[in-house]
Structures are given as structure tokens and as C-alpha cells.
Amino acid sequence: MNAEPRLAAAAQLFKTLGSEPRLALLHTIEREPRSVSALAEATGMSQPLVSQHLRTLRLAGLVTPVRAGKLVTYELADQHVSHVIADALEHVQEPVAGDPARTNHPAAEQKETA
């Protein structure tokens, strides 16, 4: 299959985002840039695991390390990352026809009253 290069890159992006711990890290960093130890504390993951996930996120271009002396904090690479996460979180709250677990969700009730 000779797909458009952007499709392959987008598929790789979604593969990277397909990890709940990585999404948790991105969601945490989105609110405030943090160091590895602060991310470990906030997420309950071990520091080595946080570092491993941050490496994957950095190589994917989703986070950027920022050095201030000896302290390194991580921030989102750009606003596109924030939008992808926000859209995904919003999307999973939308009702899905035929899925009782998602038809009585607060988002469905808001749309019905609008």
C-alpha cells in the first residue's frame, strides 16, 4: 500500500497516543510543565517509567524538554497536541448509538436540551 506520507505519520502519532499512561502524562503536562519527578508523583508512575514514556513522546515531537540550570521540565511541543488531546477526551464523552454505556452520558443530555 502506497499511502500518502501524512497518513503514515498520523497513524504513527495515534499509535503513540494509544497508550493511557502517555495520555495521562500529556494531560498533566498540558496543565503545567513538570519535571520527571513531579510527573511521577502526579501520575503515580515510577520515575524510570515516566522517563521512558517521555522519551517516546519527545521522539514523536509531542513534548519538549526545557532546561533551567539543572532542572529539566517537559512541556507540550505546541498547541496542536493540546487540541488533539482535548478533542479525544471530548469525543469519548459523546453518545454512541447502540452503546448504552455512552447514550446516557452528560454530553448526550446537554445535546438533547440544546
What is the rounded (10 degree) CA torsion for 48, 82, 63, 61? 120
Closest CA to 81 of 32, 17, 34: 17
Q: Where are the domains of the chain?
A: 9-91
CA distance 105 to 92: 10
9-91 carries CATH number 1.10.10.10: yes
What is the average pLDDT across 4-16?
92
- Specify the pLDDT at position 38: 98
Q: pLDDT, tens digit, for every residue of 23-60?
A: 999 999 999 999 999 999 999 999 999 999 999 999 99
CA distance 17 to 50: 15
- Specify the pLDDT at position 102: 62
Tell me if the pTM is above 0.95. Answer: no
